[in-house]
Amino acid sequence: LFKKLEKKVVRGRVVAGEPRIDGRDARTVRPLAIEVGVLPNAHGSSLFTRGETQAIVVATLGSLRDAQMIDALEGSRRDRFMLHYNFPPYSVGETGRMGGTSRRETGHGRLARRGIAAMLPSEDEFPYTVRVVSEITESNGSSSMASVCGSSLALMDAGVPLKAPVAGIAMGLVKDANGFAVLTDILGDEDHLGDMDFKVAGTTAGITALQMDIKIQGITEEIMEVALHQALAARLHILAEMNKVIAVSRAEVADNAPRFRTLKIDPEKIRDVIGKGGSTIRALTEETGATIDIQDDGSIRIYCDNRDGLDLAVFRIQEITAEAEVGKIYEGTVARIVDFGAFVTIMPGTDGLVHISQIADQRVEKVSDYLTEGQKIKVRVLDVDARGRIKLSIKDALDDAERAAKASHAPKAEPVPVADAPDDAD
């Protein structure tokens, strides 16, 4: 009896235009509290509170290898955006078993995901896998839309370049013989006692996701128009408050997030990067700590948890795939000495010949007087013939100071004594 009376009084007051349960009018959004960066070690995080509904949201970035593999009827595919919604019993003041994901959590998570997914950058623009987890810490109406708002904030805090910020709001309806009233930002009790739960997510420019749960036979075009109009006003209000905290995505990802670089190499060089049995790429990943993805078209994506490792991985790959440029000076290592010159390694797997005539300005009788195996020297590339053989020169790579120093240390011939001429010689 009491529940029937409660329902009748609440619905009658709403349709009559009187204040709602918490004293608001039909169009007012509950007070908002918004923070970003609340978890310093997370790649991106936010705390979004609307009235008695609160979500703490965490965004984590990974490489494309971390994308979720989905086996569907039409075949396997990879999903690089995951949004997980958790609704523990304590968020509504209850106790209960916290086990696997419930149907409700799955559905709310999918709705929030649809609201955000349309604003994500393409894989070419942002080649990361993104996982968002929304933990509902308290709930009194529309926790899924709080997850949409919190997810947008966390992603921008993580440096994900969203096309536009996204917000969501839940609209309610009370309809009887005397008319109808559309309610903005409904409470849990208004969801229970009302006729509709209409969730709308979107940006300032349009809607990204809709979901309607309805308890009556249907709604009219007028009700839908009013609901969408009020939802727009509420969404713009929430977005304005969100923009006061963070309006655009951060310019860079967090220091502890994976960093990436994309390179393009000649597909013929892929085997050089991989090496025999994968030896080269394994050595690269062990040395730099980077994850390296190689595509058949020669595109290479490099991910690393720190900038130094990323820079080193890029440098090593450029070394492996580089081709000798005529006229360019390289620092090489003497690999082998022969009678007619020396072979010098100027890049990994790339050797060139320094002919004995190109070692010094003066005549060189013995190569070993000037060079030793393992010695670091500067050489200039003179020519690369049709067979890929590289001609190098040491003397052409020397500047004036180095040239003078080399000359002073060069082996000198013993002087030939000359007899003094007699004093009376004419």
Residue at which a domain ends, from 321, 337, 366: 321
Identify the CA nearest to 356 among candidates 345, 346, 347, 368: 368
pLDDT at 193 over 80: yes
Quick one: pLDDT at residue 410? 54
pLDDT over 70 (residue 258) = yes
Confidence of residue 89 (pLDDT cuts 50, 70, 90): very high
pLDDT bucket at 406, cuts 50 / 70 / 90 = low
Q: How would DSSP label each residue in 111-134? A: HHHHHHHTTSPPTTT---EEEEEE
Structure tokens that stand for 198 in this block: 């209409």
Q: Are residues 232 and 344 in the same domain?
A: no
CA distance 292 to 313: 9
User: Helical H runs in 267-386?
Assistant: 270-274, 279-288, 307-321
Judgement on whether residues 308 and 355 belong to the same structural domain of the protein: no
Cα 166 off chain centre by: 19
CA distance 30 to 32: 6
Question: Which stretches within 293-421 are classed as H helix?
Answer: 307-321, 400-409
Are both 273 and 223 inside the same structural domain?
no
Q: What is the mean pLDDT of the chain?
A: 89
Cα–Cα–Cα angle for 392, 359, 341, nearest 5°?
75
* Helix, strand, coil shares, percent, the chain, to 5: 30, 30, 35
> Distance of CA 101 to CAs 41, 89, 105, 210, Å?
26, 12, 6, 23
Q: What is d(CA 22, CA 50) in angstroms, rounded to the nearest whole number?
A: 13
Count of domains in the chain?
Answer: 3
pLDDT band of residue 306 (cuts 50, 70, 90) is confident
Asked if residue 419 belongs to a domain, the reply is no
- pLDDT value at 375 more than 60: yes
Q: Give the separation between CA 110 and CA 88, rounded to whole angstroms.
A: 17
| CATH code of the domain covering residue 356 | 2.40.50.140
Whether residue 163 lies inside any domain: the answer is yes
d(CA 196, CA 90): 26
Q: In the Cβ-directed half-sphere of 110, how many Cα atoms lie within 13 Å?
A: 8
The pLDDT of 291-295, averaged and rounded, is 89
How much is the CA Rg of the chain, to the nearest whole Å? 36
Q: Please give the average per-residue pLDDT across 79-95, as a whole number.
A: 93
| Confidence at residue 121, expressed as pLDDT on a 0 to 100 scale | 96
Banded pLDDT at 409 (limits 50, 70, 90): low
Q: Which residue has the higher pLDDT, 101 or 250?
A: 250
In a domain, 158, yes or no: yes
405 pLDDT more than 70: no
Q: What is the pLDDT of residue 326?
A: 86
Domain shared by 168 and 51, yes or no: yes
- Same-domain pairing of 214 and 130: yes
Confirm whether 36 is domain-assigned: yes
- End residue of a domain, out of 194, 213, 245: 245
Q: What is the pLDDT of residue 44?
A: 96
242: part of which helix (H) or strand (E)? helix 221-245
Q: Look up residue 166 and give its two tokens.
A: 């996204």
Q: Could you say which DSSP state residue 222 is in? A: H
Q: Is the pLDDT of residue 48 over 60?
A: yes
C-beta of residue 88 within 8 angstroms of C-beta of residue 98:
yes
Beta strand spans in 167-276 (E): 167-176, 179-184, 196-202, 207-214, 259-264
Contact 53, 152 (CB under 8 A): no
What is the reported pLDDT for 408? 54
Statement to judge: residues 196 and 280 lie in one domain: no
Cα gap 130→419, rounded to integer Å: 90
- For the segment 113-140, the average pLDDT, to the nearest whole number, is 95
Residues 69 and 190 placed together within one structural domain of the fold: yes
pLDDT, residue 318, reads 86
Number of alpha carbons in the 13 Å side-chain half-sphere of residue 301: 18
Closest CA to 261 of 293, 295, 296: 293
- pLDDT tens digits, residue range 90-122? 999 988 888 788 999 999 999 999 999 999 999
Backbone angles phi, psi at 246, to 5 degrees: -155, 115
Instruction: Look up the CATH number of the domain holding residue 317.
Output: 3.30.1370.10
Tell me what the mean pLDDT of segment 45-49 comes to.
98
Collapsed DSSP state (helix, strand, coil) of residue 345:
strand
d(CA 148, CA 209): 10
- The mean pLDDT of 2-15, rounded to a whole number, is 88
In this structure, are 299 and 358 located in the same domain?
no
Query: Distance between CA atoms of 196 and 159, rounded to whole angstroms?
Result: 37
Do 174 and 85 touch, CB atoms closer than 8 A?
no
Question: Do 35 and 181 reside in the same domain of the chain?
Answer: yes
Structure tokens at 79: 């999903």
| Residue 338 within a domain | yes
Give me the pLDDT at residue 384, please: 86
CA 87/CA 93 separation, integer angstroms: 12
We report the CATH number of the domain holding residue 152 as 3.30.230.70
**Residues of the domain holding 402:** 329-409
Q: Is residue 228 part of a domain?
A: yes
98 is a domain residue: yes
Dump pLDDT digits (tens) for 169-189.
999 999 988 889 999 999 999
The answer on pLDDT for 425 being more than 50 is: no
Q: Give yes or no: residues 211 and 337 share one domain.
A: no
Tell me if 366 is assigned to some domain.
yes
Same domain, 39 and 160: yes
Q: Say which residue, 99 or 260, is predicted with more confidence.
A: 260
Query: How many angstroms separate the CA atoms of 334 and 346, rounded?
Result: 9
Domain boundary residue among 321, 342, 369? Answer: 321
64 and 138 part of one domain: yes
Per DSSP bridges, beta strands 390-393 and 350-355 are parallel
Mean pLDDT of 307-327: 86
How many Cβ atoms sit within 10 Å of the Cβ of residue 134? 28
pLDDT at 365 over 60: yes
